[in-house]
Amino acid sequence: MDFHECLESGTAKEVPINILRAKSLIKSSKQAIKTAEIIRLNEDSAKSVFRELYEGLREFIEAIGFSKGYKFLDHISITYFLKEILKEPLISRKFDRYRKLRNGINYYGNEIEIITVEDALGEIPKILKYLNKHINT
């Protein structure tokens, strides 16, 4: 599958550029990251912290999408958007890894190691800062 197929299948859509929606998602993204950073990380909170980090990452990328005229109806289409539209294959792979970890937690009851969450706490804010160059606001 590729981003063109996502558009054809309807899991991603071309929409009018929506800067207000993008700004709202950026604000929400920053709040999610900040929440993840202030929650005390331990075995009981690891899943919640990771979910907030992932949510912040996803919302930020969706903001980029709205700033470029795209809306995503699933998370896998975001992976293709990063790789093919933004030309960010490394970020695409990282996002896909985080997506799979989050899906494992949410849908299969998987556990997540604290070290993985600590790594995400360090990496995801850096990814957002890096991706900021793609925001058209």
Task: Sort residue 128 into left (φ over 0), alpha (ψ -120 to 50) or beta.
Answer: alpha
> Residue 80's pLDDT is what?
98
Q: What is the pLDDT of residue 24?
A: 98
What local confidence, expressed as pLDDT, does residue 105 receive? 97
Residue 55 has pLDDT above 70, yes or no: yes
pLDDT band with cut points at 50, 70 and 90 for residue 137: low
Q: What domains can you pick out in the chain, each with its CATH number?
A: 3-134 (1.20.120)
Specify the pTM: 0.96
Whole-number Cα distances in Å, 55 to 2, 35, 48: 23, 11, 10
Does residue 70 contact residue 85 with C-beta atoms inside 8 Å?
Answer: yes
Q: From CA 135, how far away is CA 108, in angstroms rounded?
A: 34
Q: Are 30 and 91 in contact (CB under 8 A)?
A: no
- Given CA atoms 10, 15, 19, 21 in this order, what sign does their dihedral have? negative
For residue 98, pLDDT over 90 is answered with yes
Q: What is the DSSP letter of 82?
A: I
Residue-level length of the chain = 137
98, 120 contact by CB (below 8 A): yes
Please give the Cα distance from 56 to 58 (Å, whole number).
6
